[in-house]
């Protein structure tokens, strides 16, 4: 529903099923009322998101003739998870299309991965706020340990570990995932982690060595998918995961503050200064609040969308901050848009000081 909130804007038309109270008059003249389910299409005039109930309330005037509701009559549509609706916009810009792609491809916002295993069985999963997806199941026969014949067991275990390692490399996007949980009973997870890091050094798997800090070893009772529930409910894991949410944005904001203090000619905020830096193709990272894309002023929204598109075209990185996260609230205090530059632009500092004097 958060994605829907960021998509629906004033001026859009929204079609959805709703319940309307309708008055009826009988042949004898008595008036009664009953509730009927109907489909309405409204032109959006107001949007309210209740993030606790996860309900989006959209107010507007009816724009399609309906047997129960007059043209131009006001109605509020309540949008909830798993309730279908049709959204029509006068113009679909790149920010709206990116938002749809993000919402439709869960792997793009699954920032937690988990591998639960016991000897011979493992599940590689991606975890989002709304679902858990099994990306790979590894089921490998491992011969039992026998006196004087441990070699076959060790070979089987190595083959199993290698299959799990390849599944991690294939299915986990470390550019998106901020934390990887490794769970097992006993020391299987520790043995696997040691094997994985040895292989990463030997075969130069930089994606693993560079993201070593993202792996968290936890206890699980087995390697079946249902063990994931017990792993995610562990208080230690819960606190660890809360720290990883929006970690990329928090890190970028901290970097901005640090550069602003130590190299002020490489960090600027405010739309005018950021636009001037963009004209010089100087922006390395742009930090922008999603609040700005919900502007009621179409031209103001268009201005921010064009800025983001231009930064992307010149090879810059875009960080869109959620206004519901503390980092987004901090960015909103800095006008909602800021930039870290590739090279110093002292002339922008001069503009700042001259505008202060004015």
For residue range 25-78, list pLDDT tens digits in order: 777 777 778 888 899 999 999 999 886 677 899 999 999 988 888 899 999 999
For residue 357, pLDDT beyond 50? no
Position 356 confidence tier, pLDDT thresholds 50, 70, 90: very low
Which stretch of 48-62, 63-77, 81-95, 143-157 has the lowest confidence by average pLDDT? 143-157
Judging by beta carbons within 10 Å of its beta carbon (0-12, 13-18, 19+), is residue 225 exposed, middle or buried? middle
Would you call 50 helix, strand, or coil by DSSP?
A: strand
**How confident is residue 358, by pLDDT bands cut at 50, 70 and 90?**
very low
The more confidently predicted of residues 145 and 189 is 189
> CA 115 → CA 170, 187, 269, 311, distances in Å?
13, 14, 41, 37
Label residue 47 left, alpha or beta by phi (over 0 means left) and psi (-120 to 50 means alpha): beta
Q: Residue 214 pLDDT more than 70?
A: yes
* Whether pLDDT at 2 is above 90: no
Mean pLDDT of the residues in the chain: 86
User: In the predicted model, what is the mean pLDDT of residues 181-210?
Assistant: 94
Is the pLDDT assigned to residue 190 strictly greater than 60?
yes
SS3 32: strand
d(CA 81, CA 319): 26
Q: How far apart are alpha carbons 252 and 287 in whole angstroms?
A: 8
Q: What is the mean pLDDT of residues 209-213?
A: 91
Residue owning tokens 């848009």? 337
What are the residues facing 318 on neighbouring strands? 286
Strand pairing report for 215-219 and 337-341: unpaired
The angle formed by the CA atoms of residues 6, 287 and 281, to the nearest 5 degrees, is 120
- DSSP assignment, residue 82? T
Cβ 112 vs Cβ 241: under 8 Å: yes
Q: Is the pLDDT of residue 106 over 70?
A: no
How many C-beta atoms surround the C-beta of residue 207 within 10 A?
13
Residue whose entry in the numeric block shows the structure tokens 């299309």 = 97
Q: What's residue 19's pLDDT?
A: 87
241, pLDDT greater than 50: yes
Q: Is 63 helix (H, G, I), strand (E, B) or coil?
A: coil
- What is the structure's pLDDT at 203? 92
Residue 341 burial (C-beta neighbours within 10 Å; 0-12, 13-18, 19+): buried
Instruction: Give phi and psi for 118, each to the nearest 5.
Output: -135, 175
Mean pLDDT throughout 237-262? 77
Q: What pLDDT is attached to residue 108?
A: 61
Find the mean pLDDT for residues 190-204. Answer: 94
Rg (CA), the chain: 27
Residue 119, pLDDT > 50, answer: yes
Rounded Cα distance between 237 and 254, Å, is 24
């Amino acid at each position: 529903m958060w994605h829907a909130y960021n998509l629906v804007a004033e001026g859009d038309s929204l079609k959805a099923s709703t319940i309307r109270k309708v008055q009826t008059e009988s042949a004898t003249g008595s008036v009664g009322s009953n509730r009927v389910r109907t489909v309405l299409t409204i032109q959006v005039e107001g949007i309210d998101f209740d993030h606790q109930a996860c309900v989006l309330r959209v107010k507007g005037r009816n724009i399609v003739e309906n047997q129960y509701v007059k043209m131009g009559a006001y109605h509020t549509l309540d949008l909830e998870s798993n309730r279908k609706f049709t959204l029509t916009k006068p113009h679909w810009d790149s920010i709206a299309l990116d938002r749809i792609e993000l919402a439709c491809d869960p792997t793009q916002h699954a920032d937690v991965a988990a591998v639960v295993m016991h000897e011979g069985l493992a599940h590689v999963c991606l975890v989002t706020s709304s679902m858990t997806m099994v990306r790979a199941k590894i089921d490998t026969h491992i011969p039992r340990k026998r006196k004087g014949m441990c070699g076959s067991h060790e070979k089987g275990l190595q083959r199993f570990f290698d299959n799990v390692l390849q599944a991690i490399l294939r299915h986990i996007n470390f550019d998106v995932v901020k934390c990887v949980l490794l769970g097992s009973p006993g020391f299987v997870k520790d043995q696997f982690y040691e094997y994985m890091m040895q292989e990463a050094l030997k075969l130069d798997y930089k994606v693993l060595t560079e993201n070593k800090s993202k792996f968290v070893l936890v206890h699980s009772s087995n390697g079946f998918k249902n063990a994931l529930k017990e792993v995610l409910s562990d208080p230690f894991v819960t606190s660890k995961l809360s720290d990883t949410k929006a970690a990329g944005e928090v890190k970028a904001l901290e970097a901005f503050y640090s550069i602003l203090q130590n190299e002020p000619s490489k960090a600027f905020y405010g739309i005018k200064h950021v636009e001037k830096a963009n004209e010089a193709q100087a922006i390395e990272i742009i930090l922008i609040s999603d609040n700005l894309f919900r502007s009621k002023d179409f031209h103001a929204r268009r201005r921010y969308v064009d800025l983001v598109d231009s930064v992307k075209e010149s090879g810059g990185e875009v960080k869109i901050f959620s206004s519901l996260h503390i980092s987004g609230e901090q960015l909103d205090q800095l006008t909602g848009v800021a930039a870290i530059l590739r090279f110093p632009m002292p002339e922008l500092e001069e503009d700042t000081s001259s505008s202060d004097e004015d």
